[in-house]
Chain A
């Protein structure tokens, strides 16, 4: 219901109803022998522990292996601080851009009928289906020294590649679908009637947007922003291609983790990694909370 368009490369759909149905079905279909159930549940638990919980725990264990002081010392390194700052900056830029363009794209798709709509929907998914490395290479091809705009940029002394603009562009490209994808099904489901009602009651376009449209999609917006942010901070492939790995300048957190690891600075590498892991955990919790709010919104709209 929430993510009609979501498919192979989709976001996980927040769907409490489906979960409720599944629970009901489970109660009705408890016909397997107890042993089979225990084995299946145990298998799932062991798999998750070995492949998810254990690595996560190891990250923190490694980060604190030389004590808590070494941990904070590693984070206080100039290189580390610069990477954290750059990551926050890039995430802020790309989340901001994707918020605006995602809203615009979702609005256009959900509220208007026009030629090429299906094409636009497909296009929105492109960043998900293309390998991030290729996404990065596209920008090298465009803005690199040998690229289409390379000489023009050099003449005008504008640095895009191996600098913040390039990293922000590549990140924005890779994370574009999140906000749009979260909003399109939501806005399609809500239709245009409330907006029409607002306009017929005398509201201007801006009043309609801020008083009617935005409050109706706010949880969806937050949901999209959250996932977009998580991916933006964690993006490795595309950023790796355009960053140039200039230490203390164009290294984001994921890039720095790799470099430190390759240099056998395990505590430092895992200290930064632990920050990213924490981001993941916070994202997970926030996502669960938001999904509950989204479901409430859907239920309220069921007449």
Chain B
């Protein structure tokens, strides 16, 4: 099932949750919607599911207008952030719900329903919990039951809202890997929402980065990390050093200091320069584009994180390998191995 979203706009009062969103999702993809809270990612997911309606724009499944159908007709599996399991039903009945409410004409008989539920509980490896109530389960178990329940209706699309948001770090990592292999197994077009970049980059085939109701970048996990399309993406994904610079007649200036960096093709005016922390190479004074004095050093396993006061007055944090120990007070030259400059203050 492919999903196509065109120019979607959704306002809550004067706040634009979605401000013109276009998106194409291919059949069988596992797509992440990544962004800070309030970026509109959950709203987009709910509109695709039919739980919310856009003010304008189009949503199509396999080229068919999905907005003409209610949530009930769309056959979309939705996994809620807080699971929304039916608290008065056993795990078994929760999973069976979607099969039991089918119109009589197509409803399966009891034996078939039981077999199907058993199969799904096996799939999420929780068949031994079928007689328990949701309140008796751990967060990770609830999450997997919610997924089994959504899969029971053989959804054409699977949507997951912050699927691991409410879980502790260890369970979250396990479930991530498990979700990826599950997706590989069932191969349903899936979209999940997350504010956790690590989660998005690790699980998804493609990542959609959103901010303020707009899509900032769509690309593979490598794309969005290695070649961020906007200043927002660069600062949101991975840890970046950000410096306010000025581009003027082929020269990049930080404060009143001209940097020895190529300025080809850059628009003149106030800009922002981004460097990954680990892309800032440390050398002797005078060896790089920047000069500075080490203020403070902490060791993090294989790297040392140094706070460096640049001669322009800015203080930055860099990650350097431990082959050459830095000390507070050292004067160093810094050369960005890779950097990006985005116009605008």
Contact = CB atoms under 8 A, between A and B. Distances in A.
Given A196-B71, A199-B71, A200-B78, A300 B135 contact: yes
A204 B51 CA distance: 14
26 contacts: A194-B85, A196-B71, A196-B80, A196-B84, A197-B80, A197-B149, A198-B97, A198-B101, A199-B51, A199-B70, A200-B49, A200-B71, A200-B77, A201-B98, A201-B150, A201-B152, A203-B97, A204-B72, A215-B88, A216-B87, A300-B133, A300-B134, A300-B135, A301-B87, A301-B135, A303-B139
A66 interface: no
What are the nearest 4 A-B pairs in CB distance? Answer: A193-B84, A201-B98, A300-B135, A203-B101
Nearest to B70: A199
Given A201-B152, A216-B87, A300-B87, A196 B102 contact: no
Given A196-B51, A216-B87, A216-B88, A201 B166 contact: no
A211 B133 contact: no
B294 interface: no
A259 interface: no
Contacts of A204: 72, 101
B76 interface: yes
A202 B80 contact: no
A207 interface: yes
Majority SS at the chain B contact face: loop
B339 interface: no
A197 B75 CA distance: 12
Interface centre among A197, A198, A199, A207 (most CB of B within 10 A): A197
- The range of chain A's interface size is 20 to 34
Interface string B27-64: 00000000000000000000001110000000000000
Contacts of B49: 200
Contacts of B72: 199-200, 202-204
Interface in A100-149: none
B82 interface: yes
Nearest to B77: A200
Interface string B148-166: 0110110000000000001
B149 A201 contact: yes
Interface in B108-124: none
B98 A202 contact: yes
B225 interface: no
Interface string A274-303: 000000000000000000000001011101
Nearest to A214: B88
Nearest to A299: B135
Interface in B276-306: none
Nearest to A193: B84
A194 B97 CA distance: 12
A212 interface: yes
B86 interface: yes
Contacts of B133: 300
Nearest to A194: B84
Interface centre among B76, B85, B87 (most CB of A within 10 A): B87
A303 B80 CA distance: 14
Nearest to B84: A193
A299 B50 CA distance: 31
A202 B102 contact: yes
Contacts of A212: 86
B84 A201 contact: no
Contacts of B97: 198, 201, 203, 211
Given A198-B101, A201-B97, A193 B153 contact: no
Contacts of A197: 78, 80, 84-86, 149
Interface string A181-199: 0000000000001101111
A194 B78 CA distance: 11
B86 A200 contact: no
A88 B76 CA distance: 49
Contacts of B86: 194, 197-198, 211-212
A200 B76 contact: yes
A193 B86 CA distance: 10
A300 B98 CA distance: 23
Contacts of A301: 87, 135
Contacts of A216: 87-88
B80 to A, nearest CB: 5
A301 B135 CA distance: 7
A201 B153 contact: yes
Contacts of A211: 86, 97, 101
